Amino acid sequence: MPIKKYIQPVYILAMCFVILLTSSCKRQANATATVVAPDDASGFVTLTDAVPDAILEIRYFGTYNFVGQRIDGYLEPTALLTKQAADSLRAVSDDVKAQGYRLKIYDAYRPQKGVDHFVRWAEDIPDTLMKRYFYPDLDKSVLFEQEYIYEKSGHTRGSTVDLTLFDMNTEKELDMGGTFDWFGPESHPDFCGNPETGDYTGDNSKSPQGRKITEKQFNNRMILRNAMLAHGFKPLDSEWWHFTLENEPYPDTYFTFEVKQLKQK
Protein backbone atom coordinates (compact mmCIF):
# COMPACT_ATOMS: atom_id res chain seq x y z
CA MET A 1 0.00 0.00 0.00
CA PRO A 2 1.45 3.47 -0.92
CA ILE A 3 2.98 5.45 1.95
CA LYS A 4 1.19 8.64 0.85
CA LYS A 5 -2.11 7.20 2.09
CA TYR A 6 -0.72 7.26 5.65
CA ILE A 7 0.99 10.65 5.52
CA GLN A 8 -2.16 12.71 5.02
CA PRO A 9 -4.12 11.39 8.09
CA VAL A 10 -1.04 11.69 10.32
CA TYR A 11 -0.47 15.27 9.14
CA ILE A 12 -4.11 16.20 9.86
CA LEU A 13 -3.94 14.72 13.36
CA ALA A 14 -0.72 16.58 14.07
CA MET A 15 -2.22 19.88 12.94
CA CYS A 16 -5.30 19.30 15.09
CA PHE A 17 -3.07 18.72 18.11
CA VAL A 18 -1.17 21.95 17.46
CA ILE A 19 -4.42 23.90 17.13
CA LEU A 20 -5.79 22.46 20.36
CA LEU A 21 -2.54 23.14 22.21
CA THR A 22 -2.43 26.72 20.92
CA SER A 23 -6.04 27.29 21.93
CA SER A 24 -5.36 25.91 25.41
CA CYS A 25 -2.33 28.16 25.84
CA LYS A 26 -4.35 31.19 24.77
CA ARG A 27 -7.06 30.35 27.32
CA GLN A 28 -4.44 30.01 30.03
CA ALA A 29 -2.84 33.29 29.02
CA ASN A 30 -6.21 35.06 29.05
CA ALA A 31 -7.06 33.57 32.44
CA THR A 32 -3.71 34.71 33.81
CA ALA A 33 -4.27 38.17 32.37
CA THR A 34 -7.58 38.57 34.25
CA VAL A 35 -6.21 37.73 37.71
CA VAL A 36 -6.47 40.81 39.93
CA ALA A 37 -3.33 41.93 41.74
CA PRO A 38 -3.67 41.04 45.45
CA ASP A 39 -3.17 44.67 46.53
CA ASP A 40 -5.74 46.01 44.06
CA ALA A 41 -9.05 47.03 45.68
CA SER A 42 -10.67 48.19 42.45
CA GLY A 43 -13.16 45.30 42.48
CA PHE A 44 -14.33 46.16 46.00
CA VAL A 45 -16.72 48.63 47.60
CA THR A 46 -17.26 49.93 51.10
CA LEU A 47 -20.09 47.74 52.34
CA THR A 48 -22.20 50.56 53.78
CA ASP A 49 -22.11 52.43 50.46
CA ALA A 50 -23.86 49.44 48.90
CA VAL A 51 -25.93 48.45 51.96
CA PRO A 52 -26.67 51.70 53.82
CA ASP A 53 -28.99 49.95 56.31
CA ALA A 54 -26.20 47.72 57.65
CA ILE A 55 -24.94 48.20 61.20
CA LEU A 56 -21.19 47.76 61.69
CA GLU A 57 -19.48 46.22 64.70
CA ILE A 58 -16.07 45.37 63.26
CA ARG A 59 -14.69 43.12 65.96
CA TYR A 60 -11.15 42.91 64.58
CA PHE A 61 -10.71 46.69 64.65
CA GLY A 62 -11.28 46.62 68.40
CA THR A 63 -10.09 44.37 71.22
CA TYR A 64 -13.23 42.34 71.92
CA ASN A 65 -12.28 39.33 69.82
CA PHE A 66 -10.61 35.98 70.47
CA VAL A 67 -7.11 37.49 70.19
CA GLY A 68 -7.82 40.41 72.52
CA GLN A 69 -6.21 43.14 70.42
CA ARG A 70 -6.70 44.99 67.14
CA ILE A 71 -5.86 42.72 64.24
CA ASP A 72 -3.20 43.64 61.70
CA GLY A 73 -4.54 45.25 58.55
CA TYR A 74 -7.67 46.81 60.08
CA LEU A 75 -6.95 50.54 59.79
CA GLU A 76 -10.54 51.74 60.13
CA PRO A 77 -13.76 50.26 61.61
CA THR A 78 -15.31 49.67 58.22
CA ALA A 79 -16.23 46.68 56.06
CA LEU A 80 -15.28 45.97 52.45
CA LEU A 81 -16.72 43.44 49.99
CA THR A 82 -16.46 42.66 46.31
CA LYS A 83 -19.04 44.54 44.27
CA GLN A 84 -20.87 41.31 43.47
CA ALA A 85 -21.09 40.22 47.11
CA ALA A 86 -22.20 43.68 48.21
CA ASP A 87 -24.99 43.74 45.60
CA SER A 88 -26.26 40.38 46.81
CA LEU A 89 -26.04 41.48 50.42
CA ARG A 90 -28.16 44.53 49.56
CA ALA A 91 -30.88 42.12 48.44
CA VAL A 92 -30.54 40.25 51.76
CA SER A 93 -30.82 43.54 53.63
CA ASP A 94 -34.01 44.48 51.80
CA ASP A 95 -35.41 41.04 52.55
CA VAL A 96 -34.78 41.08 56.31
CA LYS A 97 -35.73 44.75 56.63
CA ALA A 98 -39.22 43.82 55.41
CA GLN A 99 -39.31 41.33 58.30
CA GLY A 100 -38.34 43.95 60.90
CA TYR A 101 -34.58 43.33 61.04
CA ARG A 102 -31.34 44.92 59.94
CA LEU A 103 -28.03 43.28 59.17
CA LYS A 104 -25.24 43.67 61.70
CA ILE A 105 -21.75 43.07 60.30
CA TYR A 106 -18.87 41.68 62.35
CA ASP A 107 -16.37 41.14 59.54
CA ALA A 108 -16.20 41.07 55.75
CA TYR A 109 -13.02 41.29 53.65
CA ARG A 110 -9.98 40.33 55.75
CA PRO A 111 -6.46 41.09 54.49
CA GLN A 112 -3.91 38.30 54.47
CA LYS A 113 -1.89 40.05 57.17
CA GLY A 114 -4.94 39.72 59.44
CA VAL A 115 -5.02 35.97 58.83
CA ASP A 116 -1.27 35.82 59.49
CA HIS A 117 -1.91 37.59 62.82
CA PHE A 118 -4.40 34.86 63.77
CA VAL A 119 -1.82 32.20 62.93
CA ARG A 120 0.90 33.82 65.06
CA TRP A 121 -1.55 34.13 67.95
CA ALA A 122 -2.60 30.48 67.67
CA GLU A 123 1.04 29.38 67.74
CA ASP A 124 1.59 31.36 70.95
CA ILE A 125 0.02 28.73 73.22
CA PRO A 126 0.47 30.61 76.55
CA ASP A 127 -1.57 33.59 75.30
CA THR A 128 -5.06 32.73 76.54
CA LEU A 129 -6.26 36.23 77.42
CA MET A 130 -9.72 35.74 75.83
CA LYS A 131 -10.13 32.01 76.43
CA ARG A 132 -13.08 32.25 78.83
CA TYR A 133 -15.05 34.38 76.36
CA PHE A 134 -14.48 32.49 73.11
CA TYR A 135 -13.02 29.01 73.68
CA PRO A 136 -13.44 27.92 77.33
CA ASP A 137 -13.94 24.25 76.40
CA LEU A 138 -10.81 23.95 74.25
CA ASP A 139 -7.10 23.73 74.85
CA LYS A 140 -5.54 26.35 72.59
CA SER A 141 -3.15 23.76 71.13
CA VAL A 142 -5.99 22.12 69.14
CA LEU A 143 -7.12 25.21 67.22
CA PHE A 144 -5.25 24.23 64.04
CA GLU A 145 -6.08 20.53 64.37
CA GLN A 146 -9.79 21.23 64.80
CA GLU A 147 -9.74 23.81 62.00
CA TYR A 148 -10.68 26.90 63.97
CA ILE A 149 -7.60 28.69 62.61
CA TYR A 150 -6.41 28.43 58.99
CA GLU A 151 -3.43 29.86 57.13
CA LYS A 152 -5.85 30.92 54.37
CA SER A 153 -9.35 32.30 54.77
CA GLY A 154 -12.26 32.76 52.40
CA HIS A 155 -12.62 36.27 53.86
CA THR A 156 -9.41 37.25 52.10
CA ARG A 157 -11.01 36.58 48.71
CA GLY A 158 -13.46 39.37 49.48
CA SER A 159 -16.88 37.73 49.13
CA THR A 160 -17.37 36.31 52.63
CA VAL A 161 -19.18 38.07 55.45
CA ASP A 162 -19.77 37.39 59.16
CA LEU A 163 -23.05 38.83 60.38
CA THR A 164 -26.13 38.59 62.53
CA LEU A 165 -29.57 40.24 62.71
CA PHE A 166 -30.61 43.31 64.66
CA ASP A 167 -34.25 43.38 65.77
CA MET A 168 -35.77 46.79 65.09
CA ASN A 169 -38.62 46.21 67.55
CA THR A 170 -36.48 45.36 70.57
CA GLU A 171 -33.52 47.47 69.38
CA LYS A 172 -31.21 44.60 70.24
CA GLU A 173 -29.39 41.86 68.39
CA LEU A 174 -31.60 38.89 67.65
CA ASP A 175 -30.86 36.14 70.20
CA MET A 176 -28.89 33.45 68.35
CA GLY A 177 -28.00 31.47 71.46
CA GLY A 178 -24.29 32.08 71.14
CA THR A 179 -21.67 34.73 70.48
CA PHE A 180 -19.84 35.45 67.24
CA ASP A 181 -16.49 33.59 67.03
CA TRP A 182 -17.36 31.02 69.70
CA PHE A 183 -15.05 28.04 69.09
CA GLY A 184 -17.20 24.97 69.61
CA PRO A 185 -20.02 22.80 68.24
CA GLU A 186 -22.56 25.21 69.71
CA SER A 187 -21.75 27.50 66.76
CA HIS A 188 -22.58 24.88 64.13
CA PRO A 189 -25.75 25.53 62.12
CA ASP A 190 -26.92 21.99 62.89
CA PHE A 191 -26.56 22.39 66.66
CA CYS A 192 -29.89 21.40 68.25
CA GLY A 193 -31.60 21.24 64.87
CA ASN A 194 -31.58 20.42 61.17
CA PRO A 195 -30.79 23.51 59.07
CA GLU A 196 -31.82 21.76 55.86
CA THR A 197 -35.40 21.30 57.06
CA GLY A 198 -35.51 24.05 59.67
CA ASP A 199 -36.62 21.55 62.33
CA TYR A 200 -35.54 22.02 65.94
CA THR A 201 -34.43 18.76 67.56
CA GLY A 202 -32.92 19.92 70.84
CA ASP A 203 -30.01 17.51 70.31
CA ASN A 204 -27.08 19.01 72.24
CA SER A 205 -25.03 15.81 72.48
CA LYS A 206 -22.06 17.44 70.72
CA SER A 207 -21.69 20.14 73.37
CA PRO A 208 -18.83 19.21 75.74
CA GLN A 209 -20.52 21.02 78.63
CA GLY A 210 -24.09 20.08 77.76
CA ARG A 211 -24.95 23.57 76.54
CA LYS A 212 -28.15 24.02 74.58
CA ILE A 213 -30.00 26.57 72.50
CA THR A 214 -33.76 27.00 72.58
CA GLU A 215 -36.13 26.46 69.70
CA LYS A 216 -36.53 30.23 69.42
CA GLN A 217 -32.78 30.74 69.19
CA PHE A 218 -32.46 28.03 66.55
CA ASN A 219 -35.31 29.58 64.54
CA ASN A 220 -33.59 32.97 64.74
CA ARG A 221 -30.50 31.44 63.18
CA MET A 222 -32.69 30.04 60.42
CA ILE A 223 -34.12 33.49 59.61
CA LEU A 224 -30.61 34.73 58.85
CA ARG A 225 -29.61 31.54 57.03
CA ASN A 226 -32.70 31.43 54.83
CA ALA A 227 -32.32 35.05 53.78
CA MET A 228 -28.65 34.59 52.90
CA LEU A 229 -29.25 31.41 50.91
CA ALA A 230 -32.17 32.98 49.06
CA HIS A 231 -29.86 35.65 47.66
CA GLY A 232 -26.89 33.64 46.48
CA PHE A 233 -24.79 32.98 49.56
CA LYS A 234 -23.66 29.59 50.83
CA PRO A 235 -23.21 28.71 54.52
CA LEU A 236 -20.32 27.23 56.47
CA ASP A 237 -21.04 24.06 58.46
CA SER A 238 -19.16 25.26 61.56
CA GLU A 239 -20.33 28.88 61.99
CA TRP A 240 -23.93 30.10 61.87
CA TRP A 241 -22.77 33.69 61.14
CA HIS A 242 -20.46 32.93 58.17
CA PHE A 243 -21.57 33.07 54.51
CA THR A 244 -19.77 33.24 51.15
CA LEU A 245 -21.16 34.38 47.81
CA GLU A 246 -21.69 31.19 45.83
CA ASN A 247 -20.38 32.65 42.56
CA GLU A 248 -17.59 34.69 44.10
CA PRO A 249 -15.58 36.68 41.52
CA TYR A 250 -12.10 35.90 42.89
CA PRO A 251 -12.18 32.24 44.02
CA ASP A 252 -8.39 31.84 43.88
CA THR A 253 -7.13 35.30 44.85
CA TYR A 254 -6.09 36.23 48.40
CA PHE A 255 -5.85 40.00 48.68
CA THR A 256 -3.41 42.00 50.78
CA PHE A 257 -4.72 45.59 50.84
CA GLU A 258 -5.72 46.91 54.25
CA VAL A 259 -9.22 47.59 55.54
CA LYS A 260 -10.06 51.28 55.27
CA GLN A 261 -12.79 53.41 53.70
CA LEU A 262 -12.72 53.26 49.90
CA LYS A 263 -13.47 56.29 47.74
CA GLN A 264 -16.80 56.10 45.96
CA LYS A 265 -16.46 55.83 42.21
The full set of domain ranges for the chain reads 1-34, 41-245
Q: What does the pLDDT average to over 90-115?
A: 98
CATH of domain 41-245: 3.30.1380.10
pLDDT tens, residue by residue, 35-79: 457 999 999 999 999 999 999 999 999 999 999 999 999 999 999
Kindly state the helix (H) or strand (E) to which residue 56 belongs, with its residue range.
strand 55-56
Band of residue 181 on the pLDDT scale cut at 50, 70, 90: very high
Tell me whether residue 258 is one of the annotated catalytic residues.
Answer: no
Q: Among 176, 171, 253, which Cα is nearest to 221's?
A: 176
CA atoms within 13 A of residue 183's CA, in its CB half-sphere: 24
For residues 156 and 49, give the distance between their C-alpha atoms in angstroms, rounded to a whole number: 20
d(CA 90, CA 152): 27
Q: Note the pLDDT of residue 37.
A: 72
242 marked as binding residue: yes
Q: How many residues does the chain have?
A: 265
Please state, in angstroms and rounded to a whole number, the distance separating the CA atoms of residues 54 and 93: 7
Q: Is 184 exposed, middle or buried (0-12, 13-18, 19+ CB in 10 A)?
A: buried
Instruction: For residue 162, say whether it is annotated as part of any ligand binding site.
Output: yes
Catalytic-role residue among 57, 186, 239, 248: 239
Mean pLDDT of 96-108: 98
pTM score of the predicted model: 0.86
Cα torsion angle, 237, 241, 245, 250, sign: negative
The C-alpha atoms of residue 48 and residue 197 are separated, in whole angstroms, by 32
